[in-house]
Amino acid sequence: MRGLTKEYVIRRFLMFLLTIWLGATIIFIIPRLAPGDPVAAMISRMINQSGYIENSAQLIEAWRKKFGLDDPMYIQYLRYLWNMVRFDMGYSLSQFPQPVIATLRRGLPWTIGLLSVATILSFLFGNLIGALLGWRRTPKWLKRILPLSLSFTSIPFFMLGIILIYIFAFGLNWFPFSKGYSDSTPGLNLRFIVDVIYHGTLPAFAIVLTSMGGWALGMRGMMISIDSEDFLILAQAKGLPMRRIFTWYAVRNAVLPQFTALALSLGGIVGGSILVEYIFAYPGVGYQFYQAIVNLDYTVIQGIAFLLIMATSTAVLVIDLIYPLIDPRITYQKK
Partner 1 sequence: MIPQPTSSVSGAYRAGREIVLDVRNLRIHYETPRGDVIAVNGISFQVYKGEIVGLVGESGCGKTTAAMGILQLVPSPGRILSGEILINGRNMLGLTEAELRERRWRELSLIPQGAMNSLNPVMRVRDQIGDAILTHEGAIPKDKLKARILELFSLVGLPPRVYDLYPHELSGGMKQRVCIAMAIVLNPPVIIADEPTSALDVVVQRVVAQTLLDVKERLGVSMIMIGHDMGLQAQMVDRVIVMYAGNIVEVTPVMPAFHNPLHPYTQLLIASIPSIKERKPLKITTGLTHDLRNPPPGCSFQLRCPHVMDICKRVPPAMIEREPDHWVACYLYGKEEQQG
Residues at the site binding partner 1, with contacts judged by CB under 8 A: 136, 228-231, 233-241, 244, 248-249, 252-253, 256, 327-329
Nearer to partner 1, 26 or 325 (CB): 325
Minimum distance from CB of 236 to partner 1 (Å)? 6
Nearer to partner 1, 32 or 252 (CB): 252
CA atoms within 13 A on the CB side of 191: 6
DSSP 34: S
Nearer to partner 1, 65 or 244 (CB): 244
CA-angle at 89, arms to 84 and 92, nearest 5° = 170
CA distance 283 to 196: 11
**What amino acid is encoded at 183 in this protein?**
D
CA distance 214 to 138: 20
CA distance 138 to 142: 7
Nearer to partner 1, 85 or 233 (CB): 233
**What amino acid is encoded at 140 in this protein?**
K
Minimum distance from CB of 322 to partner 1 (Å)? 14
Minimum distance from CB of 260 to partner 1 (Å)? 15
Nearer to partner 1, 25 or 331 (CB): 331
Burial of 210 (0-12, 13-18, 19+ CB in 10 A): buried
User: Coil, strand, or helix at residue 260?
Assistant: helix
Minimum distance from CB of 127 to partner 1 (Å)? 16
User: Coil, strand, or helix at residue 182?
Assistant: coil
Minimum distance from CB of 335 to partner 1 (Å)? 9
Nearer to partner 1, 86 or 329 (CB): 329
User: Coil, strand, or helix at residue 91?
Assistant: strand
- Mind giving me the DSSP string for 48-94? HHHS--TTHHHHHHHHHHHTTTTS-HHHHHHHHHHHHHTT---B-ST
Minimum distance from CB of 182 to partner 1 (Å)? 47
Nearer to partner 1, 240 or 293 (CB): 240
Nearer to partner 1, 253 or 258 (CB): 253
Q: How close are the terminal C-alpha atoms of the chain, in Å?
A: 16
CA distance 22 to 28: 10
Contact present, 217 and 130 (Cβ < 8 Å): yes
CA distance 289 to 282: 12
Evaluate the omega torsion of the peptide bond into residue 109 and state whether it is cis, within 30 degrees of 0. Answer: no
Minimum distance from CB of 126 to partner 1 (Å)? 21
Contact present, 312 and 319 (Cβ < 8 Å): no
DSSP 170: I
Minimum distance from CB of 136 to partner 1 (Å)? 7
Nearer to partner 1, 51 or 241 (CB): 241
Minimum distance from CB of 142 to partner 1 (Å)? 17
Contact present, 114 and 124 (Cβ < 8 Å): no
